[in-house]
């Protein structure tokens, strides 16, 4: 073997040892959800209002939806599209929305209460806007990540 090839092999071996090993793939722990937010609610900013949304899709959320459906409709009845929006308004008021802050109306600040949530989410003029938007947000896994992971993701975007 020529002297040049011996030196080249030696240099490549030295370089390989000195270089950090690049990991491929991702850390699955960055996708782990903070399950306390499923019940307490995760903050979701919409239109200058912070809503605290419980996680849709959990056993508790599905049970709440099923119980509301049983109260509103006879057994075996499948609600139509409009009736489903009414049902979702009740679901938001009674379960999915755990609270809000910085909500105002023409009458001033609207403090969170179950009664106020019913007034807002059961108002059909909100069915196609905020109701749909909040239900979609309650399904997004990114809203339920641990806070430090969300901060890391936001920093990476900058």
Q: For the segment 42-70, what is each residue's pLDDT rounded down to a tens digit?
A: 999 999 999 999 999 999 999 999 999 99
Provide the 10 A C-beta neighbour count for residue 92: 26
Domain count, the chain: 1
10 located within any domain: no
Comparing 137 with 8, which gets the higher pLDDT? 137
Nearest to 93 by CA among 54, 66, 59: 54
Reported confidence tier of residue 1, pLDDT bands at 50, 70, 90: low
- Which range, of 32-36, 38-42, 124-128, 146-150, averages the lowest pLDDT? 146-150
Q: In whole angstroms, what separates CA 150 from the centre of its chain?
A: 11
13 located within any domain: no
5 located within any domain: no
Instruction: Give CA–CA dist 142/44, Å, rounded.
Output: 10
Instruction: Give CA–CA dist 121/118, Å, rounded.
Output: 5
Nearest to 97 by CA among 48, 57, 39, 144: 39
At 44 the pLDDT is 96
9 located within any domain: no
Average pLDDT rounded to a whole number, residues 131-148: 91
Ranges of beta strands (E only) in 59-151 are 97-101, 104-105, 108-109
DSSP state of 138: T
121 located within any domain: yes
Average pLDDT rounded to a whole number, residues 117-135: 96
At 20 the pLDDT is 58
Instruction: Give CA–CA dist 114/120, Å, rounded.
Output: 10
Reported confidence tier of residue 8, pLDDT bands at 50, 70, 90: very low
Average pLDDT, the chain: 87
At 31 the pLDDT is 84
20 located within any domain: no
H or E element, residue 52: strand 49-53
Domain containing residue 42: 28-157
Residues 6+ positions from 65 with CB-CB distance below 8 Å: 87, 91, 95
At 38 the pLDDT is 94
């Amino acid at each position: 073997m020529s002297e040049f090839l011996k030196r080249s092999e030696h240099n490549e071996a030295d370089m390989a040892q000195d270089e950090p090993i690049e990991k491929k793939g991702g850390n699955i722990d960055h996708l782990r959800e903070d399950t306390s937010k499923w019940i307490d609610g995760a903050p979701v900013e919409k239109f200058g209002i912070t809503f605290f949304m419980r996680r849709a899709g959990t056993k508790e959320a599905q049970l709440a939806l099923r119980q509301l459906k049983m109260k509103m409709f006879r057994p075996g009845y499948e609600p139509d599209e409009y009736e489903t929006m009414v049902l979702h308004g009740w679901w938001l008021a009674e379960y999915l929305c755990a609270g809000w802050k910085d909500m105002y109306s023409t009458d001033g600040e609207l403090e969170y209460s179950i009664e106020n949530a019913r007034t807002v989410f059961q108002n059909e003029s909100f069915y196609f806007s905020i109701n749909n938007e909040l239900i979609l947000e309650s399904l997004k896994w990114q809203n339920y990540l641990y806070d430090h992971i969300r901060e890391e993701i936001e920093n990476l975007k900058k």
